[in-house]
Amino acid sequence: MRILLASLVLLSAAAHADPVDTIGARVGGYGFRNPQATESRNAWDDCRMNGLGVFARKDVGFVNVEAGADIYFSESFPMAPNSDDAAEDRLSGIVTVAAGAKLVDTSRFRAMAQLGTGVELTHFKMTMPTGLEAEDSRALPVGFVGVTAEIKLGDKTAVGGALRTFVMGKFDANAACQLEVEPEAAAQGQFYLSYRL
C-alpha cells in the first residue's frame, strides 16, 4: 500500500511539473503459464491475481514513455482453483517503466506497442494439501512486452485495454517444502481510464 501511495504522490508531482501529459487508473488480472494444463482455458491460470493501479505517460512524437504502480493479490475469480493443488496466497506491489511506439493514431482511436521493465515487491505463502506451509518475501525483477489500444471519449478522456506478456518470478516448493523462485511467463489483461492534462 505504501508503494501505491508513494507512486500517487510522485505521479501527481510529475503532472504538475509538466513532464507528463496523460494520467490514468487501471484494473486487471494476470496468471502464470501452466505447463500441466490439459485445456486451453487453463493454460494461464496458475497463481491467478487481480489488481489495480495508476500510470502516467508522456508522448514525444510517435514514441512515448510510461511509469506505473500496481497492487495485485491472489484471486480465484473468474476461474476457481483446483482443490487438489497447493493453496497459494500472493500480494505484490509492482512498479514499472515502459517505452512505447504508436502503431495507429487517428482522431478517435490509438494503438501502441510497449516494452517495459520494473520491480515486484511480493509476499507469497503456499499451503500444501498435507497442511505444511512455506512463506517468503522478495524483491524480483520483471519485464514485459505488450500492446495497448484506446478509444477517445472526448478531448481529454479515453478508455482502453492492454495485453501484456511478462517474464517474472514464480514461486514453487521443493520436496522439503522450501520455496524457490524461477522465471516464468505470465499473461496480463488490463482496462483503463485516462485523462489528458
Q: How many residues does the chain have?
A: 197
**pLDDT for the residue numbered 10:** 43
**pLDDT for the residue numbered 4:** 41
**Digits of tens for pLDDT over the chain (197 positions)?**
444 444 444 445 444 555 789 999 999 999 998 877 666 666 777 888 999 999 999 999 899 999 999 999 998 665 555 555 678 899 999 999 999 999 999 999 999 999 999 999 999 999 887 788 899 999 999 999 999 999 999 999 999 999 999 999 999 888 777 899 999 999 999 999 999 99
**pLDDT for the residue numbered 161:** 98
**pLDDT for the residue numbered 119:** 98
**pLDDT for the residue numbered 15:** 46
Can you list the domains of the chain with their CATH numbers?
2-196 (2.40.160.20)
Three-class SS state of 135 = strand
Nearest-angstrom CA–CA distance, 11 and 54: 9
Which of 128-157 are b and which e, b meaning 16 or more Cβ less than 10 Å from the residue's Cβ? eeeeeebeeeeebebebebebebebeeeee
**pLDDT for the residue numbered 79:** 57
